[in-house]
Structure 1
Amino acid sequence: MINTERADWRRGAEAAYRYRQRKGDLDVPYEHVEDAGAFPLGRWLSDQRRAYRAGTMTGERAAELERLGVVWDTADAGFEANLGAARAYHDLHGTLAAPQGAAIMDVQVGQWLTNIRRPGGLGKDPVRAERRAAQLAAVDPDWNPAVLGWTVDWQRHYAYLAQLLAEGARLTAVVPGVTRHGDDVGRWLATQRRNWGRLNAEQQRRLGALGVGPQKAARARKAPAKTTTEPGPQAGGPRAGGTAFQNGLQALTQYIAREGRMPGRGAVEELPDGPHRVGIWIGNQKTRRDRLDATQLAALAELGVDWAQ
């Protein structure tokens, strides 16, 4: 009597060996058929992974496949490949706060980081998600700025400012037009000083550690009394609209960091200047999407707003 199960397994192992010799790995597509169409190697390897996870594979067989380079968990293999690209990006930029379009080593690392920052982006298995988060934190503790209450764009500029100062630049010399990796750090710094009161406590602490503080008020000059009063910016004008958007973005960032999901329409978030109806705000942004500029859409997309992609 011939043990057909043993014979089939041996045939599969030998097909895997030939594929490994020819291709250099065992990253076999599920639909691949080896031996001139005679053996479904991709499906066979999928069956072996299933048996390995279920604990029904013998140690001898597992060891033989591991010597050939089998990857038991293809999802983890993909994560490890992208993590390698993320490390390379960090080596070059000193941060994982990559813009969405960033690429390195033929990997769209910016889009990958955007995806895994979203709620559930590290996988449904909590143990695996925790392990992956730890791997990312080992590269950059601030890989997910949303949990800290600010955007990826803010984190990247802050990291670049810290790098410039560490390399010997004087803070007074970091003025608009001073760039790093194409980002205008000087202009960003001026904005932080001007909008100091809108930053959260941790943002202020981090900038303060670099010697940055709020913009000093200009000395008042005595002027003749005006006989007429000019109206200030109208509600909904450019300045009010910009402030309202930034406040809404801050409220949305805080909500997602705490709840791990998008807010419902009735959600209200507390900011230093009072409560913000963040659920209604995000709905309003969707209805006026065509009037948002590229920077505003990018900031929303980084937080996982699907219609802003």
Structure 2
Amino acid sequence: MAELERLGMAWSEREAAWANGVAVAREYAAVHGHVLPPTTAVWEGHPIGVWAKNARAAARRARENEELRAAGLPVPSAAGAMTEARQDELDAVDPGWCPAWDTGWQRCYRLVQNHVQAVGILPEAAGDVVVQSERYSPAA
């Protein structure tokens, strides 16, 4: 068994796919500073945008199930809900990977945060900052 594992034997395709997705998320975060890719993003041949969208949906389902349990209500199904261990794994890569608010807003926030860390100033007007091909527009 150990020899098969050294040769790359995948005992569970689902676990192997998860591990591959997390590895790609780490690479993406190392370059972009976040794991909030647009849904259309592909990183080294891996559809990281769709993978991240699906991961956020699974985390939201887990959060909704937990809210139901806390309220003493029945949980219709745990199918598709992300485990706490998997959430922790992604939190270690980027604590903001699954915001409770719109991911577009969170991505903009992270881009501005990266800009401020690199340059040291906060932009004051729309169009002052373009990071990773995305234009920052402060709220009016």
Q: Quickly name the TM-score band, shorter chain normalised.
A: 0.7 to 0.9
Q: CA RMSD in A?
A: 2.4
**Aligned equivalent of 1:89, options 5, 23, 28:** 28
- Report sequence identity in percent: 31
SS in 2 for 1:145: coil
Number of aligned residue pairs: 123
Deviations along 1:255-278, one digit per CA (max 9) or x if unpaired, are xxxxxxxxxxxxxxxxxxxxxxxx
The alpha-carbon distance between structure 1 residues 125 and 151, as it changes in their structure 2 partners (threshold 3 A), is closer
C-alpha displacement of 1:165: 1.0
Q: CA deviation digits over 1:199-239, x for unaligned, max 9?
A: xxxxxxxxxxxxxxxxxxxxxxxxxxxxxxxxxxxxxxxxx
Q: State the partner residue of 2:85.
A: 131
Equivalent residue in structure 2 for 1:176, among 126, 134, 137: 126
User: Which structure ranks higher in relative contact order (CA pairs < 8 Å, sequence separation ≥ 6)?
Assistant: 2
Q: Secondary structure at the match of 2:86?
A: helix
Tell me how far 1:85 sits from its aligned partner. 1.2
- Counterpart of 1:153 (choices 82, 91, 104) is 104
TM-score between both structures, scaled by the size of structure 2: 0.76
For the pair 1:144 / 2:98, whether they are aligned, the reply is yes
Partner of 2:41: 102
Partners of 2:6 and 2:113 in 1: how far apart? 46
How far apart are 1:63 and its partner, in Å? 3.2
| Large movers: runs of 4+ above 3 Å | 119-126
1:91-124 deviation per Cα after TM superposition (whole angstroms, max 9, x unaligned) = 1110111111111111110111101111467884
Stretches of structure 1 lacking an aligned partner (at least 5 in a row): 1-61, 195-309
Secondary structure of the equivalent of 1:99? Answer: coil
- Work out which of the two has the higher radius of gyration on C-alpha atoms and give 1 or 2: 1
Equivalent position of 2:118 in the other structure: 167
Q: What is the TM-score when the length of structure 1 is the normalising length?
A: 0.36
